[in-house]
């Protein structure tokens, strides 16, 4: 019986690699300040809030992922830009994160 290839390939594990190589961003004091400022500005998950649900912020998301930066300067500009962040709950952060992982 011939083997049928259904075209289902395992997704590349790019995200895991990126997480490891960009870990220094999350340990940077500038990021800690930006994160704290975003939480102060938006103490609630912004997506939940748009549905009228009140849920505390759990994670701060980069709207444009900083790993898309083409060089170190662009990566840092995206990573440390308050305007490029949003307050999310864990559920919505995971949902938004996965949409960049197709």
User: Judged by CB under 5 A, does residue 60 bind Zn ion?
Assistant: no
Separation CA 89–CA 69 (nearest Å): 25
Which residue is listed with tokens 């170190």? 72
- Using CA atoms, how far residue 69 sits from 6, 14, 73, in Å, is 34, 15, 8
Q: Are 95 and 58 in contact (CB under 8 A)?
A: no
Q: Which of 31, 38, 47, 86 binds Zn ion (CB under 5 A)?
A: 47
Least CB distance to Zn ion at residue 56 (A): 9
User: Judged by CB under 5 A, does residue 57 bind Zn ion?
Assistant: no
Least CB distance to Zn ion at residue 91 (A): 6
User: Judged by CB under 5 A, does residue 48 bind Zn ion?
Assistant: yes
Chain positions contacting Zn ion, by CB under 5 A:
45, 47-48, 89, 92
């Amino acid at each position: 019986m011939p083997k049928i290839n259904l075209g289902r390939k395992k997704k590349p594990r790019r995200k895991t690699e990126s997480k490891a190589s960009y870990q220094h961003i999350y340990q940077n004091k500038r990021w800690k300040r930006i994160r704290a400022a975003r939480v102060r500005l938006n103490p609630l998950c912004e997506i939940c809030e748009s549905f009228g649900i009140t849920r505390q912020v759990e994670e701060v998301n980069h709207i444009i992922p900083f790993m898309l930066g083409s060089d170190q300067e662009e990566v840092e500009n995206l990573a440390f830009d308050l305007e490029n962040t949003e307050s999310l709950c864990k559920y919505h952060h995971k949902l938004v994160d996965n949409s960049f992982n197709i």
